[in-house]
Chains A and B, each alone.
Chain A
Amino acid sequence: METKTQPQTKEANPMKKQRMTGSEAVMQSLLHEGVDLLFGYPGGAIMPIYDALYHYQDKLNHVLVRHEQGAVHAAQGFARVTGKVGVCMVTSGPGATNAVTGIADAMVDSTPMVVISGQVASPLLGTDAFQETDVVGITQPITKWNYQVKRAEEIPEAIAKAFYIARSGRPGPVLIDITKDAQFAQIDYEYKPVEKVRSYTPATPTKKDKVAEAARLINLAKKPLALVGQGVVLGNAEKELKTFLEKSGIPAAWTLLGLSALPTEHELNVGMLGMHGNYGPNVKTNESDLIIAIGMRFDDRVTGNVQKYATNAKVVHLEIDPAEINKIIYADVPVVGNVKESLPMLTAMVSENEHTDWLNEFRVCDKVENQKIINEELFPSKKGMTMGEVIRRVTDSYGDDAIMVTDVGQHQMMASRYFKFKNTRSVVTSGGLGTMGFGLPAALGAQMGQPERPVCLFVGDGGFQMTIQELGTIFQTNAPVKIILLNNNFLGMVRQWQEMFFDKRYASTELVNPDFQMIAKGYGVAGAIVDDRDNLDAAVQQMVSHDGPFLLEVKVEKEGNVFPMVPTGASVSEIRLE
């Protein structure tokens, strides 16, 4: 699925061939790809490129992060909310290895990104030179493609290919490693965007007979359930999804990364799948007679025990990546291709329908979940504050139109359950890798990508401290990120597992925390702390009306749990409500 092609800037390459250094060629190539913002951190092996950047500061806004992991997560946040390719630059050795976690995260979550790493000069390669690491080797299994440039002449083509591969088909991270001598050398610069690579097929055209077969099953189904994944968002196919659902009347559940592909309040939206998803879509998966998976990959957090998954259903799988077909769940009808293309074809062939009774079964489940879980989470009868009530207060204050960024843990699941979405590309979370520390830098990147939209980061006291230094970057850029720190003084999600599966042996999960307000103050970030429900509204209002970054710290119940839950190894229909 081609994510939005970035506009070409006029400034780039006025003449056909220009004499310049490899480093300047990097700048020109980035401009050609429409880049105007990048995140990075300098060092020895990338200094020539940073020196070239000095002369391009008016066209390329470089955000200096505080740790390379932050640069990558920021680029991911930017990419996720804009649909453009995120760009970051790091130096060799430790700079590049610090970027590894973020690259792996972007790989599993199909985030389009180009990472440029500096490398020692080519004669030194393989000699254990100062700050030499085999980044190409290290990142090979966690990049969609990577390449080491040793000659300056290769730079324009390598970068063009990197952008093409990163954003086309199923997007992903690409790393270009450039030796220092290639950065210095002079070339005759000429840029040709890459539009095809012989050995690479971004997406195959959708087969009509498969669509017809899928439509036949859909028209016969009594209890169809659509599973909406990030493929819909990456393919810019939200409208196509809505049209398909509304015509066929099929209830739709979203995966964690499929959040916001459809408005929360859409009547066919039955909620979230997976381990901490909603009750209805989980139990109904095993009652459904037809699963229509749309741009999703049956992650084990979604399926639970695969042997006991969708036991009564046939499966139609709409997916751009052929390797996902039959990888986890056998597809009776695979529809390989971009969902942007296949969904309208399918819509044309399905009959208009309303699955009123079936949909009502979800409403019944909702009632059960409301009674057993949601009401108490949103309107607690106990004194301690819950994560749910804070999240709901925040989303309401923004009229459900903010971008939700999360870190990883209980708060992530709570935010995914209780935050509400009106518009697409409103969620930035680490799904496949579950990277603690993702949130703060990703929120910065999201905010820089969408300066006009409010960005709300929900973060735990554990994950916050994994990349807390990025408060420095937020201070320096003054990006008005709203940080909602749900402080339970625990590594909450791990503690919950210890409570449920390890007889409450809380081994190394309780945190002795610093004064977060004082830290924020040190970084020039305004803040408020709430430890009593009565003050919550006012503090949220203070945050919303504050012009600039803000840290809202809420002392929530220490031992709150996220429910429902599908325990590991259990079937989705064995979801626990308590």
Chain B
Amino acid sequence: MKQEFTLSIYSENHVGLLNQITTVFTRRHINIESLNTSESAIPGIHKFTIVVFTSRDQVNKLLGQIEKIIDVIKAYVFTTDEIIHEEVALYKVKTESLLNSNEIERLVRQYGARILEVTSDYTVIEKTGHKADTQELFDKLDNFGVSQFVRSGRIAVTKLKEELLSNYLKKLEKQKSLLD
């Protein structure tokens, strides 16, 4: 059965890693639904957040191949209910449409969005939320003409009490100090 999975991949911050990671997906013809890269809470460690729609068996195989990449420290996979996740969307509309009726402002309030910038020509609206919500807002705003729309990749943190990566790094330290 296919379902949505979110992968959190922690790595050294090296050039070319993104390419190495995405190759694992493209080789197996698995579409990346969303991708985000950023720093993690731990200095020097980079985090990739990738969303895929596939089977549990397949996602485990992906995980195995990703962890094989030398510069990848650790990768985890989560189902959607195991994480808190968000995406950010930006909508650019004509300021004229904003002024012509109250509807846009009403939508902004209703959807918990906010107005980032208003110029005489255009207005930029921002909304943070799940994909369905940002999409819904797009559909509504588009009645007034959205000239640009963009949604970021998913970002996510786990609902777990313990921190998987820090625990893993501690374990690693212990194992490797045994080697010394």
B10 to chain A, nearest CB (A): 9
CB-CB under 8 A for A325 and B64, given A141-B23, A200-B70:
yes
The chain A residue with its CB closest to the CB of B27 is A141
With a cutoff of 8 Å between Cβ atoms, the chain A residues found around residue B19 in the complex are 137, 140
CB-CB under 8 A for A199 and B61, given A137-B19, A140-B19:
no
The chain B residue with its CB closest to the CB of A199 is B73
With a cutoff of 8 Å between Cβ atoms, the chain A residues found around residue B23 in the complex are 140-141
In the complex, are the beta carbons of B16 and A321 less than 8 A apart?
no
With a cutoff of 8 Å between Cβ atoms, the chain B residues found around residue A325 in the complex are 64
Q: With A and B bound together, what is the CA distance between A154 and B71 in angstroms?
A: 17
Interface string of A137-167 (1 = CB under 8 A from B): 1001100110000000000000000000100
In the complex, are the beta carbons of B71 and A199 less than 8 A apart?
yes
B60 sits at the interface (CB 8 A): yes
A512 sits at the interface (CB 8 A): no
A566 to chain B, nearest CB (A): 25
In the complex, are the beta carbons of B64 and A196 less than 8 A apart?
no
In the complex, are the beta carbons of A327 and B61 less than 8 A apart?
yes
Q: With A and B bound together, what is the CA distance between A136 and B16 in angstroms?
A: 9
A197 sits at the interface (CB 8 A): yes
In the complex, are the beta carbons of A197 and B70 less than 8 A apart?
yes
Provide a sorted-by-A list of 26 A–B residue pairs whose CB atoms are within 8 angstroms. A137-B16, A137-B19, A140-B16, A140-B19, A140-B23, A141-B27, A144-B70, A145-B70, A145-B71, A195-B179, A196-B176, A196-B179, A198-B12, A198-B172, A199-B11, A199-B70, A199-B71, A200-B71, A321-B68, A322-B64, A322-B67, A323-B64, A323-B65, A323-B68, A324-B64, A325-B64
With a cutoff of 8 Å between Cβ atoms, the chain B residues found around residue A201 in the complex are 172
Q: Pick from B16, B65, B72 the residue with the most CB of A within 10 Å.
A: B16
Interface string of B62-97 (1 = CB under 8 A from A): 001101101111000000000000000000000000
Kindly list the 7 A-B residue pairs having the minimum CB-CB distance in the complex, ordered from nearest.
A323-B64, A199-B73, A145-B70, A200-B70, A323-B68, A199-B71, A199-B12
A135 to chain B, nearest CB (A): 12
Interface string of B6-32 (1 = CB under 8 A from A): 000001100010011001000100000
Q: Which of A324-350 contact B (CB under 8 A)?
A: 324-327
A268 to chain B, nearest CB (A): 32
The chain B residue with its CB closest to the CB of A141 is B23
Q: Which of A290-333 contact B (CB under 8 A)?
A: 321-327
Q: Which of A198, A321, A322 contacts B73 (CB 8 A)?
A: A198
Number of B positions contacting A (CB below 8 A):
21
A473 to chain B, nearest CB (A): 32
Q: With A and B bound together, what is the CA distance between A287 and B70 in angstroms?
A: 40
With a cutoff of 8 Å between Cβ atoms, the chain B residues found around residue A327 in the complex are 61, 64
CB-CB under 8 A for A165 and B70, given A136-B16, A140-B16:
yes
Q: With A and B bound together, what is the CA distance between A145 and B12 in angstroms?
A: 14
B63 to chain A, nearest CB (A): 9
Q: With A and B bound together, what is the CA distance between A325 and B61 in angstroms?
A: 9
Q: Which of B152-180 contact A (CB under 8 A)?
A: 172, 176, 179
Q: Pick from B16, B60, B68, B70 the residue with the most CB of A within 10 Å.
A: B70
- Which A positions have Cβ atoms within 8 angstroms of B? 136-137, 140-141, 144-145, 165, 195-201, 321-327
Q: With A and B bound together, what is the CA distance between A210 and B179 in angstroms?
A: 23
With a cutoff of 8 Å between Cβ atoms, the chain B residues found around residue A200 in the complex are 70-71
A140 to chain B, nearest CB (A): 6
The chain B residue with its CB closest to the CB of A145 is B70
A115 to chain B, nearest CB (A): 16
With a cutoff of 8 Å between Cβ atoms, the chain B residues found around residue A144 in the complex are 70
A68 to chain B, nearest CB (A): 23
With a cutoff of 8 Å between Cβ atoms, the chain A residues found around residue B61 in the complex are 323, 326-327
Q: Which of B38-79 contact A (CB under 8 A)?
A: 57, 60-61, 64-65, 67-68, 70-73
Q: With A and B bound together, what is the CA distance between A321 and B69 in angstroms?
A: 12
Q: Pick from A141, A199, A321, A327 the residue with the most CB of B within 10 Å.
A: A199
With a cutoff of 8 Å between Cβ atoms, the chain A residues found around residue B57 in the complex are 326
A178 to chain B, nearest CB (A): 16
With a cutoff of 8 Å between Cβ atoms, the chain A residues found around residue B68 in the complex are 321, 323
With a cutoff of 8 Å between Cβ atoms, the chain A residues found around residue B71 in the complex are 145, 199-200
Q: With A and B bound together, what is the CA distance between A7 and B172 in angstroms?
A: 28
In the complex, are the beta carbons of B20 and A199 less than 8 A apart?
no
Q: Which of A140, A197, A198 contacts B20 (CB 8 A)?
A: A140
A141-B20, A196-B176, A325-B64 are known contacts; what are 14 more A-B pairs with Cβ within 8 Å? A137-B16, A141-B23, A141-B27, A145-B70, A196-B179, A199-B70, A199-B73, A201-B172, A321-B68, A323-B61, A323-B64, A323-B67, A326-B60, A327-B61
With a cutoff of 8 Å between Cβ atoms, the chain A residues found around residue B176 in the complex are 196
With a cutoff of 8 Å between Cβ atoms, the chain B residues found around residue A197 in the complex are 70
Q: With A and B bound together, what is the CA distance between A209 and B172 in angstroms?
A: 21
Q: With A and B bound together, what is the CA distance between A199 and B168 in angstroms?
A: 11
The chain B residue with its CB closest to the CB of A161 is B70
The chain B residue with its CB closest to the CB of A144 is B70
With a cutoff of 8 Å between Cβ atoms, the chain A residues found around residue B72 in the complex are 199
A109 to chain B, nearest CB (A): 16
Q: With A and B bound together, what is the CA distance between A326 and B72 in angstroms?
A: 21
B36 to chain A, nearest CB (A): 20
The chain B residue with its CB closest to the CB of A325 is B64
With a cutoff of 8 Å between Cβ atoms, the chain B residues found around residue A199 in the complex are 11-12, 70-73
The chain A residue with its CB closest to the CB of B57 is A326
With a cutoff of 8 Å between Cβ atoms, the chain B residues found around residue A195 in the complex are 179
A157 to chain B, nearest CB (A): 14
B55 to chain A, nearest CB (A): 13
Q: Pick from A201, A321, A324 the residue with the most CB of B within 10 Å.
A: A201
With a cutoff of 8 Å between Cβ atoms, the chain A residues found around residue B172 in the complex are 198, 201
A326 to chain B, nearest CB (A): 7
B67 to chain A, nearest CB (A): 7
Q: With A and B bound together, what is the CA distance between A145 and B17 in angstroms?
A: 11
With a cutoff of 8 Å between Cβ atoms, the chain A residues found around residue B67 in the complex are 322-323
Q: With A and B bound together, what is the CA distance between A144 and B70 in angstroms?
A: 7
With a cutoff of 8 Å between Cβ atoms, the chain A residues found around residue B20 in the complex are 140-141
Q: With A and B bound together, what is the CA distance between A53 and B83 in angstroms?
A: 56
With a cutoff of 8 Å between Cβ atoms, the chain B residues found around residue A140 in the complex are 16, 19-20, 23
With a cutoff of 8 Å between Cβ atoms, the chain A residues found around residue B60 in the complex are 326
The chain B residue with its CB closest to the CB of A196 is B176
Q: With A and B bound together, what is the CA distance between A15 and B65 in angstroms?
A: 42
Q: With A and B bound together, what is the CA distance between A144 and B27 in angstroms?
A: 16
The chain A residue with its CB closest to the CB of B15 is A148
The chain B residue with its CB closest to the CB of A136 is B16
A149 to chain B, nearest CB (A): 12
B54 to chain A, nearest CB (A): 15
Q: With A and B bound together, what is the CA distance between A198 and B71 in angstroms?
A: 8
Q: With A and B bound together, what is the CA distance between A198 and B46 in angstroms?
A: 14
The chain A residue with its CB closest to the CB of B178 is A205
With a cutoff of 8 Å between Cβ atoms, the chain A residues found around residue B70 in the complex are 144-145, 165, 197, 199-200
